[in-house]
Amino acid sequence: MAYLRSVPRVWREREIKYRLIGGACRSCGRRFYPYRQTCPACGSEEVERVKLPETGTVEVFTVVRSPPSEFAEQAPYVVALVRLDDGTLVPAQITDVDPGEVYEGMRVEAALRRYRTQGERGIIEYGIKFRPLIQ
Amino acid sequence: MKPLASIIGYGAYIPRYRIEAKEISRVHTGGAERAPVRQKSVPGPDEDSLTIAYEAARYALRRAGIDPSLVEALYIGSESPPYAVKPSATVIAEALGFSRKLYGIDMEFACKAGTTAIISVAALVSSGVIRYGMAIGTDTAQGRPGDELEYTAAAGAAAFLIGPSSPEAVATIDHVYSYVTDTPDFWRREGEKYPMHTFRFTGEPAYFHHIISAARGLMEEAGLKPEDFDHVVFHQPNVKFPQRAGELLGFKPEQMKYGLLSGEIGNTYAAASLIGLANVLDNAKPGERVLVVSFGSGAGSDAISLTVGEGVEKVRDKAPTVAKLVARSKLVDYALYLRYRGMILR
Ligand SMILES: [Zn+2]
């Protein structure tokens, strides 16, 4: 049986995961995702919650062909660093694409998708992924 | 009836993948089946009726251009919710940042639940209980492999942001009429994965009787005739049924030009007539009159009469049109289709 993350933890993170809530450090000015209380760059605890922009560009990516069992149904899938339009770098899955269709510089948009299901009986975890921008 | 409320934003969403009817037929009948649609939409492996509803809702919000925290109702009509017990409305409201003072509910009435969601939210607005609310029809429908429903059971969503009645809005809901009877044409018991149905595409006593009764009921109450409408949209389980319904009621093919999409995307159940309405709004001119008639097995039809407002041209380009979403398509074969529907486990 797959490892099940605690339901309260999924619940605590829902706003961050559903709405792309990042941190903005008041000491060094850096923006990051996901939000946490301590700035990963300078260690400051002067971090504000910010709603990050929903569009960006694929900066680098890799294809996952042998994923952990909880993601098996989605493999092969693409994970990337997405440079949001405000400059924030977000690690995320790129969905609605075949691995061969992704390229550096691809314009993408955040969208709520299934992250994983906790088996047949547990909760379904949702969160932001990125898919090609529909223009 | 005084106008109930106005649509101030609308959005549709269709998953990217398609399977052609001839590919389904190749697997089950050696290509002998004459299919009721050319192809149907297929959700990706990380999509469900909640995620596609979110996509449509976000486009509706973008077109409406209002602060999401002002939205105080979210009614979702679907027969394919991801949970048997746990609402989708709460997740979508949280993801889009709606007010936490919220009238939120998931509703089920087969393919009719989406239009009933619109009528319910419009009534909340009309009665002054709320100022803004959202109604969504969404489904990722499944047919048993090899069953005739498998050719058409598709995925799609459409969302409408509803506010006080105004000629400046996208469209105003002028009149509604609903007609229901106890007709067991199609059902799915608790715990069952696939629906059962009694007749091939459930014709006269189900689809046609309810669609025609609701459409005639509305026209009689409102004093309107088929020629008073510029556009008409019917529930579309296939291509022939809505065409025949239009003919029986006295509508002309030109009136159905924008409202009929099932040939290219299949039957999107609770979203079917509403994606048709979204496509009408993508193309209609202010002042034009629209009739939408849904059908849900079990059975019933909602008829909604609308007048397109001045606002439609200002919001149209703020989100992808239905034509764009229909064109964004990638064909999959039957094996990949089974995998995306979770029928091949690793
Ligand atoms: Zn810092």
Supply the ipTM of this predicted assembly.
0.95
Cβ <8 Å between B51 and A126: yes
Q: How far apart are the first and last CA of chain B?
A: 56
pLDDT, position B303: 98
pLDDT band at A1 (very low <50, low <70, confident <90, very high): very low
pLDDT, position B179: 98
Only one residue has tokens 């088929």, namely: B226
For residues B47 and B155, state if they share a domain: yes
For residue B281, the enclosing domain spans: 171-312
B47 interfaces chain A, CB cutoff of 8 Å: yes
Main-chain phi, psi angles of B325, to 5 degrees: -70, -35
Active site (annotated) includes residue B235: yes
pLDDT in tens, B165-175: 999 999 999 99
| Distance in Å, alpha carbon of B326 to nearest chain A alpha carbon | 11
pLDDT in tens, B178-204: 999 999 888 999 888 899 888 655 788
Residues in A touching B341 (Cβ below 8 Å): none
For residues B22 and B75, state if they share a domain: yes
A92 alpha carbon – ligand 1 mean position (Å): 22
- Amino acid sitting at position B93: A
For residues B253 and B333, state if they share a domain: no
> Which residue is closest to B42 within chain A, CA to CA?
A96
A38 alpha carbon – ligand 1 mean position (Å): 8
For residues B268 and B160, state if they share a domain: no
Q: Give SS3 for B229.
A: coil
Estimate the crossing angle of helix B113-126 against helix B272-283, to 10 degrees. 60
On the question of pLDDT at A3 being above 80, the answer is: no
B50 interfaces chain A, CB cutoff of 8 Å: yes
Cβ <8 Å between A18 and B50: no
Mean per-residue pLDDT pooled into runs of 10, chain B (346 residues): 96 98 93 86 97 98 98 98 97 98 98 98 98 98 90 97 97 98 91 82 86 98 98 97 97 97 98 98 98 96 98 98 98 95 79
Residues in B touching A114 (Cβ below 8 Å): 46-48, 51
| Distance in Å, alpha carbon of B81 to nearest chain A alpha carbon | 12
pLDDT, position B344: 83
Instruction: Write the residue in A14, A74, A134 that is nearest to B324 by C-beta.
Output: A134
Residue B92: inside a domain, yes or no?
A: yes
Residue B117: inside a domain, yes or no?
A: yes
For residues B159 and B217, state if they share a domain: no
> Which residue is closest to B93 within chain A, CA to CA?
A18
Q: Is the peptide bond before B299 cis (omega within 30 degrees of 0)?
A: yes
Contact partners, residue B262, CB within 8 Å, separation at least 6 = B37, B152, B236, B237, B238, B239, B242, B268, B272
pLDDT, position A131: 98
pLDDT in tens, A35-71: 999 999 999 999 999 999 999 999 999 999 998 888 8
For residues B175 and B165, state if they share a domain: no
Q: How many domains does chain B have?
A: 2
For residue B50, give the CATH number of its domain. 3.40.47.10
pLDDT in tens, B50-82: 999 999 999 999 999 999 999 999 999 999 999
Residue B317: inside a domain, yes or no?
A: no
For the CA atoms of A93, A69, B81, B205, the dihedral, rounded to the nearest 10 degrees, stands at 110
Q: Are B172 and B281 in contact (CB under 8 A)?
A: no
For residue A37, give both structure tokens: 């209380």
For residues B13 and B68, state if they share a domain: yes
Q: What is the reported pTM? A: 0.96
Distance in angstroms (rounded) separating the CA atoms of residues B122 and B133: 8
The active-site residue out of B55, B72, B79, B150 is B79
Half-sphere exposure of B249 (CA within 13 A, CB side): 35
Cβ <8 Å between A72 and B54: no
A85 interfaces chain B, CB cutoff of 8 Å: no
Distance in angstroms (rounded) separating the CA atoms of residues A48 and A27: 11
Residue B318: inside a domain, yes or no?
A: no
Residue B198: inside a domain, yes or no?
A: yes
CA B103 vs. chain centroid, Å, equals: 21
For residues B160 and B203, state if they share a domain: no
pLDDT band at A4 (very low <50, low <70, confident <90, very high): low
For residues B9 and B32, state if they share a domain: yes
For residues B31 and B128, state if they share a domain: yes
Residue B319: inside a domain, yes or no?
A: no
A26 alpha carbon – ligand 1 mean position (Å): 7
A53 alpha carbon – ligand 1 mean position (Å): 20
Residues in B touching A75 (Cβ below 8 Å): 346
For residues B148 and B15, state if they share a domain: yes
> Which residue is closest to A110 within chain B, CA to CA?
B55
For residues B151 and B192, state if they share a domain: no
pLDDT, position B199: 63
A 27-56 near B (Cβ less than 8 A)? none
| Distance in Å, alpha carbon of B33 to nearest chain A alpha carbon | 30
Cβ <8 Å between B91 and A74: no
> Which residue is closest to B43 within chain A, CA to CA?
A96
A41 alpha carbon – ligand 1 mean position (Å): 5
Q: Give SS3 for B244.
A: helix
The active-site residue out of B72, B111, B150, B231 is B111
Cβ <8 Å between A18 and B55: no
